DNA sequence: CTTTGTGCAAACGATTTGCAGGATG
DNA sequence: CATCCTGCAAATCGTTTGCACAAAG
């Protein structure tokens, strides 16, 4: 645990970010969960025992983390942004029923051929978004 | 032109929607453009000569059109929703420089094998989002 | 004539911003 | 000790809502 904390500090410093308790907490929280939380969810999680960060600070921390490439914003839902500390390229699955978001391994889809794009467009990255229903929600339907 | 208008009226009626000038205008506008406009852009476009629709009405019209499946909401950008009258499945290209959005033909990417998804997830649809720079923005860089 | 849509303005919710004090390197 | 961060509250922006009036079928 301590080692992990040290690693986080090292990572933040290596990106030129000042290490504050709030920034640390936001990043650590994002690293240990994989559900692409919203700002509100992060905030609730961080302050559940004792108040540690204010809303504006979480926004600021996320922006800083995003600028140095440690965190990505994920747009899969109207109204709210979600955040992801998994910066490696990957795809997303979204449950249309409960809204849950899950990562899909990058290698799951192999055959996307960007050279087929219209001449003139220069692709830099891509991502597949799959929508459907997750285990839990399929069960719901069957009851 | 008249024929096109008749078709739009027929389409709206066939979906059980009352045909109002505002609804007609919103849908016709979406049909004739392919840039996935925001509400603000639609509004500006509709009211450029004379005021025809209010903001709340455009929102209401879009919601009605969405409910009957004539229009889709497109989420590719923070903060704003964009709308698309192309309901057939297709992919999207987004220019990271100017924000332009362009459709990519569904057949461009053939090999996505949804059976490779984790057991338990039931896929209903998917879509590929490509990011990069468009013709115009590449030129900009070269100058 | 009944139902539904429109337009205005107020309400809302997520995100941003200004600024005074506080912590970081 | 200079710089940058935090926290609060006010401000902003896209979107939604309540309601009186108007239009559609």
Residue A120, pLDDT score: 93
- Whether A40 and A106 have beta carbons less than 8 Å apart is answered as no
> Residues B75, B9: one domain?
yes
A123 plus A53 within the same structural domain: no
Q: What are the Cα distances from residue A42, in Å, to A9, A11, A36, A76, B20?
A: 19, 20, 9, 17, 44
Which residue is closest to D15 in terms of CA–C1' distance?
Answer: B59
Q: Does residue B24 sit in the same domain as residue B66?
A: yes
Q: Are residues B74 and B128 in the same domain?
A: no
The CATH number linked to A104 is 3.30.1490
Per-residue pLDDT of chain B (143 residues; tens, 9 = 90+): 666 899 999 999 999 999 999 999 999 999 999 999 999 999 999 999 999 999 999 999 999 999 999 999 999 999 999 999 999 999 999 998 888 899 999 999 988 999 999 999 999 999 999 999 999 888 765 55
Same domain, A64 and A17: yes
Closest CA to B128 of B100, B143, B99, B107: B107
Are A117 and B138 within 8 A, CB to CB? no
Closest partner residue to A126 (CB to CB) among B77, B78, B130 is B130
Give the pLDDT of residue A140.
64
* B132/B112 same-domain check: yes
Q: A105 and A60: one domain?
A: no
Of B114, B126, B131, the CB nearest to A124: B131
> CB–CB of B130 and A125 under 8 A?
yes
Band (A2; pLDDT cuts 50, 70, 90): low
| Rounded-to-integer distance, Cα A87 and Cα A111, Å | 21
pLDDT of residue B141: 55
Percent of chain A topping pLDDT 70: 96
Q: Does residue A136 share a domain with residue A98?
A: yes
Supply the pTM of this predicted model: 0.91
Looking at A58, A81, A104, which one is the last position of a domain?
A81
Burial classification of residue B38, based on how many CB atoms lie within 10 Å of its CB (0-12 exposed, 13-18 middle, 19 or more buried): middle
Structural domain harbouring B126: 90-140
* Domain C-terminal end among B33, B53, B81: B81
The CATH number covering residue B60 comes to 1.10.10.10
Q: Which residue has the tokens 């455009």?
A: B58
* Domains: count for chain A: 2
Q: pLDDT, tens digit, for every residue of A90-143?
A: 999 999 888 889 999 999 998 899 999 999 999 999 999 999 999 998 876 555
Is residue B8 domain-shared with residue B37, that is, in the same domain?
A: yes
Last residue of some domain: A48, A81, A114?
Answer: A81
Is residue B40 domain-shared with residue B110, that is, in the same domain?
Answer: no
Find chain A residues with C-beta within 8 A of B124's C-beta. 96, 131-133
Extract the tokens encoding B13. Answer: 């009626």
Structure tokens belonging to residue B66: 């969405």
Same domain, A58 and A96: no
Instruction: Answer for the pair B91, B108: CB distance below 8 angstroms, yes or no.
Output: yes
A105 and A60 in a common domain: no
Please report residues of A whose CB lies closer than 8 A to that of B111. 109-112
pLDDT in tens, A17-32: 999 999 999 999 999 9
Size of interface A-B (CB pairs under 8 A): 110
What count of Cα atoms within 13 Å lies in the side-chain half-sphere of residue B17? 24
Q: What are φ and ψ of residue B102, in 5° steps?
A: -135, 145
**Any alpha helices (H) in B19-54, and if so which ranges?**
21-32, 39-46
């Amino acid at each position: 645990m301590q080692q992990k904390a040290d690693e986080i500090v090292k990572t933040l410093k290596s990106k030129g970010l000042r290490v504050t308790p709030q920034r640390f907490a936001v990043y650590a929280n994002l690293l240990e969960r994989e559900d692409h939380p919203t700002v509100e969810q992060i905030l609730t999680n961080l302050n559940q025992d004792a108040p540690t960060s204010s809303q504006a600070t979480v926004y600021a921390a996320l922006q800083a983390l995003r600028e140095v490439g440690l965190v990505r914003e994920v747009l899969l839902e109207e109204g709210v942004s979600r955040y992801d500390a998994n910066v490696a390229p990957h795809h997303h699955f979204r449950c249309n029923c409960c809204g849950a978001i899950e990562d899909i391994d990058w290698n799951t889809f192999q055959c996307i051929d960007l050279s087929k794009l219209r001449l003139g467009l220069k692709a830099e990255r891509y991502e597949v978004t799959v929508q459907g229903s997750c285990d839990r929600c399929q069960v719901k339907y069957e009851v």
